Structure 1
Amino acid sequence: MSKETPCVAVCMIDPKTRLCFGCGRTLPEIARWHAMESAERLSVMAQLAARMADAGLQPIAGTPKRL
Structure 2
Amino acid sequence: MSSSPASEAPVPSPCCRRCCLDEGDVCLGCGRSLAEILEWNQADGARRRQIVEAALARRKPL
Q: TM-score, normalised by structure 2?
A: 0.72
Structure 1 gap segments, 5+ residues each: 59-67
In structure 1, give the amino acid aligned to 2:57: A
Q: What secondary structure is seen at the aligned counterpart in 1 of 2:54?
A: helix
Q: Whose Rg is larger?
A: 2
Q: Count the aligned residue pairs.
A: 54
The percent of aligned pairs where both chains have the same amino acid is 31
Which residue of structure 1 lines up, in the alignment, with residue 17 of structure 2?
9
Alignment-mate amino acid for residue 14 of structure 2: P
8 Å CA contact retained: 2:19, 2:29: yes
RMSD over aligned CA atoms reads 1.9
Structure 2 unpaired stretches of 5+: 1-8
Instruction: State the shift of 1:2 in Å.
Output: 5.4
Structure 1 length normalisation: TM-score?
0.67
Greater relative contact order structure (CA < 8 Å, 6+ sep): 1
